[in-house]
């Protein structure tokens, strides 16, 4: 159990350092990943930026992810699930474009006029407050890899074993503090898991200036 996201970030940073992992950039997944990412970036002495992806929901079931798309259009689709559900191409195309635009708007809202950090040839840590299904995480990872990162490391306080195993092939390394045998939702492993407002989320990036 983590006290809050700052405490989770501190424990995650300890694990990263203990594993001998170094990096050039930390990319947090907003909003919940920003308090965690801020602590990790400060501990490693590297810049903090964000990476954004949005879930693509199944028809008539907004909680079920059939894929995810990053702000630059990088896409991950669960093709077997899409086939099983009989999702038609028109629905899929509409959802991909809608969520891509939403991810882009979110990125712009948090970054303001700050230029994105150059990822080509860099060792990049992607940080969130936890992973559940790994759908949006996969889209984020693929965006970073396609941007030319030399190494991509996923670092999270908590995730289920199944998600960790699925994501292992997407990254060079994974750091996860807790891999519980019973997993319902990320929030159950935090004493305090309050929603991070847009304005508060931005403050974690402003400290970089």
pLDDT tens for the chain, residues 1 to 209: 899 999 999 999 999 999 999 999 999 999 999 999 999 999 999 999 999 999 999 999 988 999 999 999 999 999 999 999 999 999 999 999 999 999 999 998 888 778 888 999 999 999 999 999 899 999 999 999 999 999 999 999 999 999 999 999 999 999 999 999 899 899 999 999 999 988 888 889 875 44
Do residues 38 and 122 share a domain? yes
Q: In terms of C-beta distances under 8 Å and separation of at least 24 residues, what long-range contacts does 193-200 make, across chains too?
A: 193/4, 193/5, 195/31, 196/5, 196/30, 196/31, 196/32, 196/34, 196/35, 197/31, 198/31, 198/109, 198/110, 200/31
Instruction: Choose one of 110, 127, 156: the last residue of a domain.
Output: 110
Whether residue 186 sits in one domain with residue 102: no
The phi and psi torsions of 79 (rounded to 5 degrees) equal -60, -45
Residues 42 and 124 in one domain: yes
Residue 88 and residue 72 in one domain: yes
Asked if residue 124 and residue 38 are part of one domain, the reply reads yes
What pTM was estimated for this model as a whole? 0.92
**Domain boundary, last residue among 110, 128, 144:** 110
Q: Are residues 46 and 75 in the same domain?
A: no
Domain count across the chain: 2
24 and 9 housed in the same domain: yes
Write the CATH number for 83.
Answer: 3.30.1310.20
Residues 173 and 95 in one domain: no
- The CATH code of the domain that includes 132 is 3.40.50.2020
Domain match, 135 and 183 both: yes
Measured distance between the N- and C-terminal CA atoms of the chain, rounded to whole angstroms? 32
State which residues form the domain around 147. 5-51+112-206
Q: Which two tokens stand for residue 152?
A: 């991509």
């Amino acid at each position: 159990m983590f006290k809050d996201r700052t405490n989770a970030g501190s424990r995650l940073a300890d694990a990263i350092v203990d594993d001998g992992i170094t990096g050039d950039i930390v990319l947090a997944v907003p909003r919940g990943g920003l308090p965690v990412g801020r602590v990790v970036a400060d501990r490693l002495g590297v810049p903090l930026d964000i990476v954004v992806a949005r879930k693509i929901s199944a028809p008539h079931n907004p909680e079920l992810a059939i894929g995810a798309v990053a702000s630059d259009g990088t896409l991950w689709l669960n093709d077997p699930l899409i086939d099983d559900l009989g999702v038609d191409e028109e629905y899929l195309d509409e959802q991909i474009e809608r969520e891509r635009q939403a991810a882009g708007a979110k990125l712009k809202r948090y970054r303001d006029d700050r230029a994105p950090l150059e990822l080509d040839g860099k060792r990049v840590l992607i940080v969130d407050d936890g992973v559940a299904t790994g759908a949006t995480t996969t889209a984020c990872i693929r965006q970073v890899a396609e941007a030319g990162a030399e190494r991509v490391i996923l670092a999270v306080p908590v995730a289920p074993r199944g998600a960790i195993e699925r994501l292992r092939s997407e990254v060079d390394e994974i750091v996860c503090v807790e891999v519980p045998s019973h997993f319902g939702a990320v929030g159950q492993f935090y004493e305090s898991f309050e929603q991070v407002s847009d304005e508060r989320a931005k403050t974690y990036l402003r400290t970089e200036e």
